[in-house]
């Protein structure tokens, strides 16, 4: 769809837009350092300070709460050489269904927000990632004293809307797919710098205190960008770590060895980096949005029980070369639990292997916007390359 102008510096691609979300977006777009405009994505919904699904270009300042507390949260997807027929043949051969695979994945990857790996030596590829993060922290003098167990967080999923899925595309090829971010250590980094920004803006009139900012040229700004870079890298490597574990578990379940991937896409949707927009180099914050520069591939998930999409960016300048990051919630977790039951969730998950539990009712697809409407709204931002449907779902508890 073509964007609608919702203010002097606000363009929106959202056909499903709540008043509270629009209010937040207008507040963000009214900040003096916005250039050239804020882009509101099709999946936008209310968030902390600024709406989730907001792309925010700023000159000389960054707002830590706009980046969010799950720094570097994003998606990773890996296409394999396997097909639905291979999976069905393995089930017939072994008599071991997808429940056994789900349980093996749950055993290999810690799921809950406070659950860590038992150790860091269980997988051959973990040590190199920890070493890279240690060296990056040392080089930037990143203070991680608030998270002494950060190494054991690497390769853990977390809770909420984080998930792991086995999917099939339009040609019945098997994809491995998951959603996670920088875990507890990233949250601690974000919360610290949000408080610093609020102290720095104590005498500034803000429409919302979570729009507090750090000004370029200050020590606080430099410290945040260094710590942010570390957390973004942690999130990226965290997804890669889990994907390697998922791939190993899946191969074992399939009774094969070796690497069976043909493609891997790992993309953030909560982050800040420098980009050129409106003829200037700005700090571009994608809060619930993916990079959609021309030719760049990304992954846009639906919800448990609905389709997801592998996409390629179209480089839309008005959209700040960005695209939506998912379906976006239409009901809060509390409201979803009030409206829906475990039986409702079971009905929506027919044909999908998942852990049948009442704790996931707030993640029912009905709590989210219609992903097909979101993708239609995004048709001038990305083109769909693959359409994925899940046959197995593992949720963060």
Please give the positions annotated as active site. Answer: 325
Give the chain's length: 397
For residue 29, how many other CB atoms are within 10 A of its CB? Answer: 21
Q: Is residue 35 within 8 Å of 282, Cβ to Cβ?
A: yes
Three-state SS for 353?
Answer: strand
Q: Which residue do the tokens 């207008």 mark?
A: 26
Q: Is the dihedral of CA 380, 370, 78, 265 positive or negative?
A: positive
CA 102 and chain centroid, separation: 21
**How far apart (Å, rounded) are the C-alpha atoms in residues 288 and 18?**
16
> Pairing between strand 322-324 and 173-180?
unpaired
Q: Label the pairing between strands 214-215 and 308-313.
A: unpaired
Q: Do residues 363 and 127 make contact, with C-beta atoms less than 8 angstroms apart? A: no
What does the alpha-carbon distance between residue 144 and residue 136 come to, in Å, rounded to a whole number? 12
SS (H, E, C) 306-324: CCEEEEEECCCCCCCCEEE
């Amino acid at each position: 769809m073509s964007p609608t102008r919702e203010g002097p510096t606000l363009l929106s691609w959202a056909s499903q837009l709540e008043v509270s979300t629009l209010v937040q977006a207008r507040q963000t777009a009214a900040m003096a350092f916005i250039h050239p405009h804020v882009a509101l994505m099709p999946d936008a919904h209310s968030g902390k300070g600024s709406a989730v699904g907001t792309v925010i270009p700023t000159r000389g300042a960054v707002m830590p709460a706009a980046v969010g507390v799950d720094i570097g949260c994003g998606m990773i997807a890996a296409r394999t050489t396997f097909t639905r027929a291979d999976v069905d043949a393995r089930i017939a051969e072994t008599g071991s269904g997808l429940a056994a695979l789900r349980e093996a994945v749950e055993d290999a990857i810690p799921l809950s927000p406070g659950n860590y790996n038992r150790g860091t030596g269980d997988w051959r590829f973990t040590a190199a990632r920890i070493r890279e993060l240690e060296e990056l922290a040392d080089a930037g003098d990143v203070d991680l004293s608030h998270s002494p167990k950060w190494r054991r967080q690497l390769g853990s999923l977390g809770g909420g809307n984080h998930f792991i899925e086995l999917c099939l595309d339009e040609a019945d090829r098997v994809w491995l797919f998951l959603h996670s971010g920088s875990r507890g250590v990233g949250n601690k980094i974000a919360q610290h710098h949000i408080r610093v920004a609020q102290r720095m803006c104590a005498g500034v009139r803000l429409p919302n205190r979570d729009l507090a900012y750090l000004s370029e040229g200050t020590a606080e700004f430099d410290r945040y960008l260094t710590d942010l870079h570390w957390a973004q890298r942690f999130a990226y490597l965290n997804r890669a770590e889990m994907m390697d574990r998922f791939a190993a578990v899946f191969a074992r379940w399939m009774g094969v060895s070796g690497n069976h991937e043909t493609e891997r896409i790992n993309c953030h949707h909560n982050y800040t980096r420098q980009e050129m927009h409106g003829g200037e180099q700005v700090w571009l914050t994608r809060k619930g949005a993916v990079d959609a520069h021309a030719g760049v591939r990304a992954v846009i998930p639906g919800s448990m029980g609905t389709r997801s999409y592998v996409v390629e960016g179209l480089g839309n300048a008005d959209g700040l070369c960005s695209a939506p990051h998912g379906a976006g919630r239409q009901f809060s977790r509390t409201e979803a639990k009030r409206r829906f039951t475990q039986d409702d969730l079971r009905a929506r998950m027919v044909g999908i292997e998942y852990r049948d539990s009442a704790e996931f009712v707030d993640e029912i697809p009905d709590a989210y916007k219609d992903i097909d409407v979101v993708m239609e709204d995004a048709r001038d931002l990305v083109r769909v390359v693959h359409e994925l449907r899940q046959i197995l779902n593992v949720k963060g508890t």
